[in-house]
Structure formats: structure tokens, C-alpha cells
Amino acid sequence: MFSQGYVRVMEIDLHEGRCRIHKREDLLENIGGSGLAAALYGEYGQPGEDAFAPEQPLIIAIGPLTGLFPLMSKAVLGFKSPYSGHYAETHAGGRLALAMRYANLDALVIKGEASHPVCLLLGEREFAVREGRHLWGMDTTMTARIIRSSEERGRGRRSILRIGPAGENLVKYACINVDTFRHFGRLGAGAVMGKKKLKAITILGEGSFSLPHGDYKKVYKKIYRKITTSGAMKKYHDLGTPVNILILNGLKALPTRNLSSTSFTGADSISGEYFAEKLLLRQIACSSCPVGCIHIGLLREKFAPEHEYYYRQVSYDHEPIFAMGSMLGVSLGEKVISLIDEAEKHGLDVISAGVALAWATEAYQKGLIGEKETLVPLAFGEAGSYRQALACLSGRVNDFYRLLGEGTLAAAARYGGSEFACTLGQEMAGYATGPAFFVSQAMGFRCSHLDTAGYQLDQEFDPCSVERALSYLLKEEKQRFILTSMVACLFARNIYTTEMLSEALEAAGLPHLALELETRAAALVKRRWQVKKSTGFDPLKVTIPPRFYQVETIRGKVNGEFIDALLKAYAGAIAAL
Amino acid sequence: MPKILRAIAMERCIGCYSCMLGCARLVHNSLSLIRSGIHVRSLGGLTAGFEARYCLACRPAFCALACPTGAFVQREGGGVCYRERLCIRCGHCARACPVNVILVDEETGFPVVCLQCGSCVNFCPHGCLAMVDAPSKEQPGTAGTAGEPDIKQR
């Protein structure tokens, strides 16, 4: 535990079926989360080996404030992505971070490959490799049901991670489902778990620890009050992230029909407002977050001619809605939620799967591929076909879907159509806001809008120089790195200001870290880029596909020269580190 | 009039665990989820909603009846006062609890018990919990019928 002067790492070898605990004082300098995961990859990773090599580690790290303060609710997974071949991060909430804290596991390093499908059961006083063959092939929902019913311990204080068939089949954007409604998404962490034949991980958060001395209780109450009374977090609970659908549509920045457009005529009936009125069942929260941004919608479908219905609960957010909605031309919330549910069960990353199918639809329209490849006729707006296509993608049923499961560009290399591939390091996130977003997603560790705040800079509508844009991206990247090293939810970025973080770190018994935070973060940001570069990433070789240069936002057509100049400047800055 | 804890609107629960985290820290001085007088958990997967398991403030308090040392004493209105210095860690209290909410700490052997202090209520962001008037001796069984509180401003 960080505040007790060391980082407790559980190193798991799936080949041997054993674990080893390391108490490491020297790792404290890496802060935690993003910083710690990169340091551990530097130590345990095999940067020159294939992402699927047995010894490649999956590293999950929490931070020095996890479990100590509200909204310090995320865990960071660092790994070599089978999609990009580079070091990558993915973050998840749910019950995981607190379960790890109370299991006294600051970081997990999972390496090796099991000889047959297995599950892990971890806790403060527990390590077991359990049978997984009976779960192999099962969807993410059924897998968790069986695990829950076969293990009573830790109810309410445990976290269950699992993969679906997509991960088992090594789809390169298979995700890891965390506690049903959250994910280690994007870039294929689920496929790495599948390669290791690791179907599921259960973590029991049953331990208890003494409180830090001094002002801890006072600061805890102060931060809790600030979060629950300031009003700053209201929007995340109210409509949640899907509030962005209409905002982005109004700015002509909502990726639509494979980004052939940036506004969607069907936006109203896939909007956050529509979901809240028609489909919202309730909101739930990650452990220790009093906000509750996880929106659960109702999927109700008829399964027989009489009045026979089944219903399921599906979490929705802006990005799954964009990916299964506007990007595929699907204009009804009910259909969108059914597609999200389908992708979830298979354990596919919803965003990547939607964007890949959007490309496939345009390729189909243009005659580059036909029904021989797609098996179902793909057409924008046809949710039924997409539902079947998602199953084909997860099952990798033929050459076409096998290639599409490697990524849009892999399929385009074979069939043509790279000029309309919407990839920026991986399939695009749901923000066609302009150059700063395009450049930042293409470079980052999560290859999403989250590494730095390009999408915000684009939306400020303040024409700025390349120099200013670059300094904005670098500053924001560092600030976000600090937060994701704690590990805070980024929705709390306006609560956890530099001053508030200092106060929290002092109260947690880490006054030195509070003092050195800025300087240490600067060094660690550099180190994290070096780790990515060690896996073969060359920022100077990053390109942005032609489709992005044709984007028109409310400000008019994007400035291609500005994209190129900012890409060059950002790549240069990273290359120099 | 003495107050007792009631989970009056668990349908509103978002599962944030702030009540448990608050109780463990501020009442039981523990950085944990487990050393709490109240336990929230899903009803079998997060799709099923949440339940709160907590001290029902029994009168008579069966834990106090079972306690052989006087560490547990019946509290006016229901529930108990607990004095650790009198406790010999026999665990009879936990076995006597009809709703299984007294946890015996595996490390220390001492029970973790709800003191009906209401700290958890102050940490609930959704008005799921409330301190309500204890039922009078003449009218038992009316606890928990207090009007629903407003959801606090977020």
C-alpha cells in the first residue's frame, strides 16, 4: 500500500499456476496507475516480442489515493496491444479499483499462458487458479452468472473481470468486461486475456487497514461534500455522456455513416434526452463515486408471435451510441441499445466494432466487397444485419471477418477502401471535432479522446496557432497523466485540482509526493512515451487517413494544412523525449 | 425521541458504497469496505438492484441478550451500545443476530456493530437511508414509515 511506504505487486505466472508477492519501495516514485503500469511494463514487458507472446504481461495498477477518497475509482491496464503492436493503456471503473485496494493489491502482473482455460480468484489471503473449461465459449453475462453462483465469498465487495467469445477468438479489439457495465475497452486487452486462456478474474476486496494519521477524516469529508454539493458533477448523473449527441450534432461534429457526414438527421431519436425519456431504468455508480454516471437502459424485445417479451439491462454512453447509432446510420434508441447489447455479450469493443462495420458498409456500397464476404447485406440503418454481422465478427467466421477483426486497415489492405477508413491509431472515437482531436487520438496511449483534450480545444472555436495548440495538448496530457496515476475518474478533473490533490496526498500520508508531484509527473510522462517507443512506436510515422481531411464542421471544412502542421509538431515533441 | 436507521428507499440506490466507506472511516476508524455497520450489495449481479443489510434496532436486542459480559447493552429505542473494553470476543452476539449483520473481524476477533449513529445517512447521495423515530413501546412495528426524504442537492 502506497501510504505505508511500498507498492505491493502480485506477480502471477499462468503457466506455473503460482503467484509471488513483491513489496517494492522503489516503485513509489512512479506515483501509481499510468505511471506505475508503464514502469512495470518496462520491467516485465517484452517490447520486441509479439503482443501475443506468452510472457507479455497484462498489468493492472491502482494508485496512492485509490480507496482513500471519493471518485478515485479507476484502474489502469497497461499492455502491448495486439491491435497496434505498441504499449497501450485502457482504464476501467466498476468495483475493480476498490476491490484491489482492499485485497491489498496495488498492482497485478499477469504473465505466461495457461495450458487450458482457467479463471483466477484473488484476494488479500487468496490466490487460486480455477477451472475455466466449462466457461469457454460463453458470453460475458452467463460467465459472470456462473462465477457468482459458484463463489459466495466477497459479495458486494468483489469485482469480476471476464472475456467473451471475441476475446477467446483473439479479435484484436476484444475488450475485458468489468462488473457487467464497465470495460477495459479498445486496443484488444480482451484478446491478450484470451491468448493466455484466462477467462475470468475475481478479486475479493475483503481486507481492512488502519487510517492515515492526521487530517484524513477532515479532508475526506471536505472532498465528499465538494463533490456532492458543488453541482459540477450533475451533468454526468443527469443525462450522462449521451448529452453530447445533440451538442456534437449541433456543431456538425457527430461522426455519421462512416464519417461521410458530421450531422445526423436521426440524432433526436438516439440522443441522451431520448434515452433518458424512453429507455433509462436507473443510474448506478462505481465503488466510492457518489455521482453515479452509469446509465442503464431497458432493452425489451419480442421473441414470439404472442405477447412474449424478454428484457435486459444495458449500459449506454455517448460513444457506444455514436458507434452503433449515427456511425451506422441507425436512428432509433431501441435499435441502438440492442446492438450495444449484442456487442457486449460477445465481448467486442463496441466503438471499434461499430466503426469497423461502418467502413464495411461503405465498402459494400462501393462494391469492394459483396455478400460473399459480409454474409449479410450491409446497409446504413439496417440494425438487423448489423446484429448478425457482430456475431460474425466475434466468431471470425470467414476470411473477411477474420481480417476485419484485425482492424479496419487490415481489411482495407486486402479489399481496398483505406481512403475512407476512420482510424486514428484505431477506430475513431465519437468526436469529429477537428484537427486537435484527430492528432491527439492518433498519438495517444489509449488512442481515444481521453489522453489529452484535443476535442475540447477544437470546440473552443478559437482559431489558434500550431504552437498554442501544441502547448495545450502537452499541458493537458500531463495534467491527465497525474489524474490517471492517482487513479481518479477524469470526470472529477475539476474537483481534483492541483491544490486539492496536494491536500489529499498529504492527508493520505504522502507529503513528499504532494510536493514533488509536478516534477515527478513531467519525468514520468517522458518515460511513458519511451516505453511506447520501445515497442516500435514511431510518432513521425503516424498518418491520418484521407477521410478526416474531408470533414466539415460548423466552422467549415477542416484545415488540412493545420492537421499536418499539428501532427508534425506533436510528433516532433514526442520524438524528442 | 430516539432515532433508528432505516433503508427507506433502496430502489434509489446507485451502489456507490459511500455509506459503507463513511461508516468504516468515521465510525470504525478503518480503511475498508468490510468494517462497516451497514452492508450494501447487489441482489445477484448489478442488473438486479441493491439491498442494504443493516442493524434493525431490535427491541429486545438479541445480540445484547446473548452477550455474557455486558459489552452489548440495550439502547433506548432499539439497537445497542457497545463497549469494547468489556468484550471477550466470544462471538455470541454475531450468532444471535437474526439478520446476520454483526461481523466478527477475522483479525481482531472483535465485533463490528452498528451504533445507530446515522453517519451513513449523511453520506448517502440519494436519500436511500434515513434516521426515523423509533417505534414507541405501545406501537411496535411502525418504524420505517416516515415520509420519503427529498433527494439531496447534488
Say yes or no for a CB contact (<8 Å) between B44 and A210.
no
Q: Looking at the predicted structure, is the pLDDT value of residue B145 above 50? A: no
The three three-digit cell numbers of residue B105, written as one number: 473481524
CATH code of the domain made up of B57-112:
3.30.70.20
Say yes or no for a CB contact (<8 Å) between B30 and A228.
no
Strands A280-284 and B103-104: unpaired
Q: Are A330 and A343 in contact (CB under 8 A)?
A: no
User: Do both A108 and A16 map to the same domain?
Assistant: yes
User: Do both A368 and A456 map to the same domain?
Assistant: no
Residue B139's pLDDT is what? Answer: 60
Judging contacts by C-beta atoms under 8 Å, the chain B residues touching residue A289 are 16
Q: Are A275 and A325 in contact (CB under 8 A)?
A: no
Say yes or no for a CB contact (<8 Å) between A211 and B40.
no
Judging contacts by C-beta atoms under 8 Å, the chain A residues touching residue B25 are 211, 216-217, 220
Chain centroid to CA A329: how far? 24
The residue in chain B having the minimum alpha-carbon distance to the alpha carbon of residue A209 is B31
Q: Looking at the predicted structure, is the pLDDT value of residue B148 above 50? A: no
Q: What is A502-541 written as a DSSP string?
A: HHHHHHTT-HHHHHHHHHHHHHHHHHHHHHHHHTT--GGG
Task: For residue A401, give the H/E element and its range.
Answer: helix A399-404
Say yes or no for a CB contact (<8 Å) between A292 and B16.
yes
Q: In what order do the strands lie in the sheet with A280-284?
A: A280-284, A294-304, A308-316
The three three-digit cell numbers of residue B130, written as one number: 434515513
CATH number, domain of A18, equals: 3.60.9.10
Per-residue pLDDT averaged across B28-45, rounded?
Answer: 91
User: Do both A360 and A303 map to the same domain?
Assistant: yes
User: Hunting for cell 513528499 — which residue is that?
Assistant: A512
* SS3 per residue for A429-464: CCCCCCHHHHHHHHHCCCCCCCCCCHHHHHHCCCCC
Gap between the Cα atoms of A168 and A137, Å rounded: 7
Q: Looking at the predicted structure, is the pLDDT value of residue B152 above 60? A: no
Q: Of B25, B40, B42, which has the smallest distance from its Cβ to A217's Cβ?
A: B25
User: Do both A53 and A198 map to the same domain?
Assistant: yes
Q: Specify the CATH architecture of the domain B1-55+114-132.
A: 2-Layer Sandwich (3.30)
Q: What is the dihedral of CA A193, A196, A202, A208, to 10 degrees?
A: -100
* Per-residue pLDDT reduced to its tens digit, B83-142: 999 999 999 999 999 999 999 998 899 999 999 999 999 999 999 999 999 987 666 554
Residues written for chain B:
154
CA distances from A48 to A37, A80, A87, A341, A532 (A): 18, 10, 11, 37, 11
Q: Which residues pair with A149 in a beta bridge?
A: none
Judging contacts by C-beta atoms under 8 Å, the chain A residues touching residue B125 are 228, 290-292
Gap between the Cα atoms of A167 and A183, Å rounded: 13
Residue B48's pLDDT is what? Answer: 81
The three three-digit cell numbers of residue B48, written as one number: 438486479
CATH number, domain of A279, equals: 1.10.569.10
How many domains are there within chain A?
Answer: 3
Buried b (16+ CB within 10 A) or exposed e, A542-566: bebbebbbebebeeeebeeebbbbb
The answer to whether B1-55+114-132 and B57-112 have equal CATH topology is: yes
User: Do both A511 and A481 map to the same domain?
Assistant: yes
Determine, yes or no, domain membership for A218: no
Q: Are A324 and A350 in contact (CB under 8 A)?
A: yes
User: Do both A411 and A442 map to the same domain?
Assistant: no
Angle, helices A33-44 vs A511-534, to 10°: value is 50
CA distances from B146 to A27, B52, B92, B130, B143 (A): 52, 18, 33, 9, 7
Say yes or no for a CB contact (<8 Å) between A155 and B41.
yes
Determine, yes or no, domain membership for A450: yes
Gap between the Cα atoms of A97 and A106, Å rounded: 9
CA distances from A371 to A366, A376, A389, A401, A554 (A): 13, 6, 11, 12, 37
Give residue B43's pLDDT band: very low, low, confident or very high (50, 70, 90): confident
Residue A264's pLDDT is what? Answer: 98
Say yes or no for a CB contact (<8 Å) between B18 and A233.
no
* SS3 per residue for A38-74: HHHHHHHCCCCCCCCCCCCCEEEECCCCCCCCCCCCC
User: Do both A354 and A451 map to the same domain?
Assistant: no
Is A24 exposed, middle or buried (CB count within 10 Å of its CB: 0-12, 13-18, 19+)? middle
* Per-residue pLDDT reduced to its tens digit, B46-89: 778 899 999 999 999 999 999 999 999 999 888 999 999 999 99
Residue A139's pLDDT is what? Answer: 97
Residue A507's pLDDT is what? Answer: 97
Say yes or no for a CB contact (<8 Å) between A157 and B34.
yes
Domain ranges of chain B: 1-55+114-132, 57-112
The strand ranges marked E within B2-79 are 3-7, 30-32, 38-42, 50-54, 72-74
Gap between the Cα atoms of A564 and A466, Å rounded: 10
Range of the domain at A451: 435-575
- CB contacts under 8 A, B 83-102 vs A, are none
User: Do both A198 and A69 map to the same domain?
Assistant: yes
* ipTM of the prediction greater than 0.90, yes or no: no
Gap between the Cα atoms of A186 and A349, Å rounded: 6
Residue A102's pLDDT is what? Answer: 96
The residue in chain A having the minimum alpha-carbon distance to the alpha carbon of residue B40 is A156
Who contacts A473 (Cβ-Cβ below 8 Å, separation ≥6)? A436, A439, A440, A452, A453, A454, A457, A570
Helix, coil or strand: residue A113: coil
User: Do both A337 and A447 map to the same domain?
Assistant: no
The residue in chain B having the minimum alpha-carbon distance to the alpha carbon of residue A142 is B45
Q: What angle do CA A91, A92, A98 make, to 5 degrees?
A: 120
Q: Are A454 and A440 in contact (CB under 8 A)?
A: yes
HSE of B79, CA atoms in CB hemisphere, 13 A? 25
Say yes or no for a CB contact (<8 Å) between A224 and B22.
yes
Judging contacts by C-beta atoms under 8 Å, the chain B residues touching residue A290 are 14, 16, 18, 123, 125
Q: Compute the count of residue pairs across chains A and B with CB atoms less than 8 Å apart.
A: 105
Task: For residue A495, give the H/E element and its range.
Answer: none
User: Do both A472 and A346 map to the same domain?
Assistant: no
Buried b (16+ CB within 10 A) or exposed e, A272-285: bebbbeebbebbbb
Gap between the Cα atoms of A118 and A278, Å rounded: 41
User: Do both A303 and A399 map to the same domain?
Assistant: yes
User: Do both A358 and A506 map to the same domain?
Assistant: no
The residue in chain A having the minimum alpha-carbon distance to the alpha carbon of residue B31 is A209
Determine, yes or no, domain membership for A328: yes
Q: Looking at the predicted structure, is the pLDDT value of residue B151 above 80? A: no
pLDDT < 50 positions in chain A: none
Q: Are A407 and A83 in contact (CB under 8 A)?
A: yes
Determine, yes or no, domain membership for A222: no
Residues written for chain A:
577
- Shortest distance, CA B149 to any CA of chain A (angstroms): 16
Residue A568's pLDDT is what? Answer: 98
